[in-house]
Amino acid sequence: MIDTRTLTQLGAHVEPPQSPEAAVLETVPFARGNGPPAIVRFVCPEFTSLCPVTGQPDFAHIVIDYAPDTLLVESKSLKLFMTSFRNHGAFHEECTVMIGRRIVAATKPLWLRIGGYWYPRGGIPIDVFWQTAAPPEGAWLPDTGVAPYRGRG
């Protein structure tokens, strides 16, 4: 059984962080074992942030795949982190890459990739992709499941 006593958010009432910088990504131990690495996927189909110029909301479908080494990101802390972008003004590219880099800093995975599939504003959808390196050998990497933009729905 994993010792969760060090977690400050899981099982507690926690107010959403006011910014991504204020958000705390917590981790739990992971025993990787032998064989090909596991791939963990988080999908956030209703991600929102703010346009840094107009302050209007931007919407995205975020897909995060990572191969954990010794740490997993705790999912409640990830949800709170993702929610913190609702008050954050940044361009699509910055938001997407910031999410990936924060998870990498917290978990030090073998590999991570993130896809940010942004809904159009001004008629142009923007898709942003970032990964740490080549995927680990032997890992099963499923398709992200997000179709090219055609009214995404």
Is there a binding annotation on residue 75?
A: yes
H or E element that contains 112: strand 111-121
**C-alpha gyration radius of the chain:** 16
Active site residue 44: no
Q: Of 44, 58, 65, 95, which residue is the catalytic one?
A: 58
Catalytic residue among 3, 44, 51, 95: 51
What is 83-106 written as a DSSP string?
A: HGGGG-B--HHHHHHHHHHHHHHH
**Rounded distance, CA 131 to CA 29, Å?**
22
d(CA 47, CA 112): 19
Question: Cα separation of 116 and 112, whole Å?
Answer: 13
73 annotated ligand binder:
yes
Token pair of 153 as six digits: 């729905």
3 is catalytic: no
The annotation status of 61 as a binding-site residue, yes or no, is no
Question: Is 93 annotated as a binding-site member?
Answer: yes
**Residues of each annotated binding site:** 73-75, 92-93
Which residues are catalytic, by number?
A: 51, 58
**Residues of each annotated binding site for substrate:** 73-75, 92-93
